[in-house]
Structure formats: C-alpha cells, structure tokens
Amino acid sequence: MAITHHADDSTLMSYAAGTLPEALSAVVAAHVAMCTDCRRELATLDELGAILLADLPGQATVMPLPRQPAVEPAPCSAIVRKPSAAAGTIPAPLTRLVGKDLDAIAWKRLGLGVWHLPLPLSANATGDLRLIKVAPGQIMPDHGHGGAELALILAGSYTDSIGHFGHGDLADLDDAVEHQPIADREAGCICLIASEHPARFKGLFARLVQPFVGL
Ligand SMILES: [Zn+2]
C-alpha cells in the first residue's frame, strides 16, 4: 500500500540540516529509505542548500545546510544519515541496530499485549528510541507527548484520531497531540518510535507500568 503519512516539512528540513535530535533522525532516516516522496523532497532541500551556499559566499549570517550532524560517534549515529533505496520490512538504515528479521527480535514484554526493544543512542543524546510491538486489537494508553514524537510503521498498522497508519507511514506528532492508537485487529502493529523526551502516559495502565519501563 502507498505511504500516505510523511515527515512534516519542518521535520525534514531539520533532518536535512543535521539539527534533528539523534533519536528522531533515526526514524526519519528509516522512513526516507522507504519513501520516494520524502527522498525527492530531501534532494530538493539539498539542492536548495547548495544554491544558497553557491550564491552567497562569505555571508556569515546565512545558515548552511550541513550534510552531517556536528556530533559524530555512537551506536546510533551510524543509521542517522544514511538514506538508501526502499527495502523490505526493515529499512536498511535500521538493520545495523535490529537485524533484518522482525521475527528474530528479542522482544521484552511490557505486559497487556505490548512488547518493546529499547535502542541505543549516543552517550550525550537525549530522547528515546525503541521498537514497539502491539498485539492485534490492543488499545495503547491515551497519552500526550513531552516534545516531538515520530512513529514509523514497520509491520501491521494502527488507527487513531488522526487516521490510519500502515507500512512505511510516519506519524509526526508534536506535544499538542494526544492520541490513543488501536493496533490492527488481525496483524497488530510494529513500529519504531522516537521521542524528544519520554512520553507521558495518562491512563491507569500507564501509571502501573511507567515506573518499571521508563515510558
Ligand atoms: Zn515520506
């Protein structure tokens, strides 16, 4: 099915400029690898950056669009800036971290039909990056966000008040959004989720598990 939900323009511009936080960049890199529309948009931004630099040499006030984040090293930085052609279920930028097979992932159970796999970030990075697997028909706790959050669907789908999100779709959420996703009733949902800060779940389920899982 075609990808219908993409990164917001501002998110893609921050990604192109290398200023998006590492966890969020990892999700955008994975989406870009799956999405021809966003690859095209990114190429346009790169051309724009090159034109700005070429037309305005020596202008100290003009912000260039660097192709690499200022800070390098770390486990996750390897996947942040490597868009590649669309691949199978797990996009190429992610395979270094989680392998090529979703079925082979060593999920950790959170309880009530939800499993996760926290992914490593650089020592100095803030935010949170993890895979989440939700059982078919499972309702996720209603929650708001402490800052920006991105969710990329790798398998199955979910539906919330914003719409239906299937394979390759990217949910680009800001802290004004509160949502209660319901996983596909047959396939469930596996997604890659990054947040600028930990999510603040509000429901009873959340209050029960939050102290233990750091969500
Ligand atoms: Zn896209």
Domain boundaries, the chain: 1-215
Mean pLDDT of the chain: 77
Residue pLDDT, tens place only, 128-182: 888 989 999 988 765 555 677 889 999 999 998 889 999 999 998 876 666 678 8
Model pLDDT, residue 96:
86
| Mean pLDDT on 115-126 | 88
Quick one: CATH architecture of 1-215? Sandwich (2.60)
pTM here?
Answer: 0.76
Ligand 1 centroid to 3 CA: how many Å?
7
Ligand 1 centroid to 79 CA: how many Å?
17
Comparing CA positions, the residue from 174, 176, 168, 179 lying closest to residue 203 is: 179
Ligand 1 centroid to 31 CA: how many Å?
6
Residue 97 confidence (pLDDT) above 60:
yes
Ligand 1 centroid to 16 CA: how many Å?
14
Specify the amino acid at residue 146.
G
Of 1-10, 61-70, 94-103, 155-164, give the lowest mean pLDDT range. 61-70
Higher pLDDT: 41 or 209? It is 41
Ligand 1 centroid to 32 CA: how many Å?
6
Ligand 1 centroid to 28 CA: how many Å?
9
Model pLDDT, residue 59:
52
List, as ranges, residues with CB under 5 A of the ion ligand 1.
Answer: 6, 35, 37-38
For the CA atoms of 144, 145, 151, 156, what is the dihedral angle to 10 degrees? Answer: -20
Give yes or no for a contact between 81 and 69, defined as CB atoms under 8 angstroms apart: yes
Ligand 1 centroid to 56 CA: how many Å?
30
Ligand 1 centroid to 118 CA: how many Å?
24
State the DSSP string of the chain: --------HHHHHHHHHT-S-HHHHHHHHHHHHH-HHHHHHHHHHHHHHHHHHHHSTT-TTSPP--SS-SS--STTHHHHT------SSS-HHHHHHH-S-GGG---EEEETTEEEEE----TT--SEEEEEEE-TTPBPPPEE-SS-EEEEEEEE-EE-SS-EE-TT-EEEE-TT--B--EEBTTTBEEEEEEESS--EE-SHHHHHHHHHH--
Higher pLDDT: 58 or 7? It is 7
Within its chain, how far is the Cα of 15 from the centroid? 12
Residue 206 confidence (pLDDT) above 80:
no
Comparing CA positions, the residue from 133, 148, 13, 29 lying closest to residue 77 is: 29
Model pLDDT, residue 137:
92
Higher pLDDT: 10 or 76? It is 10
Strand-pairing partners, residue 215, are none
The most confident of 55-59, 105-109, 202-206, by mean pLDDT: 105-109
| Mean pLDDT on 2-8 | 93
Ligand 1 centroid to 40 CA: how many Å?
9
